[in-house]
Structure 1
């Protein structure tokens, strides 16, 4: 994990906790995209994790507090992306999956 500040670590830790619930893995592949979709009501479950309003709200609050999202980078591991960078990452990944 590289240079996440205290508030970014709170989101990272919560995302990792949700990954453990979903798949008993600290950071499941594409976790950041699945949790994003769950937070935005695009999916209702991820593995064994069911997206409750409480989970969606906590993800929203934690991400709003830092003004961005946490994602996994193969070279640098978990990283913070502000909203502009996150939208670029998300759109690039979604574009390549179509």
Structure 2
């Protein structure tokens, strides 16, 4: 089991890799603070997050699994869109 992947994500990636999926999936990879993301990540970086030593880009499930065991990597996560919750003045639908 990888220490850098959520167990559910790791299971899904293993299934995709075993099936030979070539689908490129969006990820955010956090690297150790003494590592430059551009020097170790095997994909074209779409965005680099200097404040947290991370970068986003797309790679296959097999590439993500291989990267997850690198000593330079702290975390491999799916990249997705997030929305902030707004506090409502009243109950929902009011």
Max radius of gyration: which structure?
2
TM-score when normalising by structure 1: 0.26
Tell me which protein shows more strand as a share of its residues. 2
Tell me which protein shows more helix as a share of its residues. 1
Greater length-normalized contact order (CA 8 Å, ≥ 6 residues apart):
2
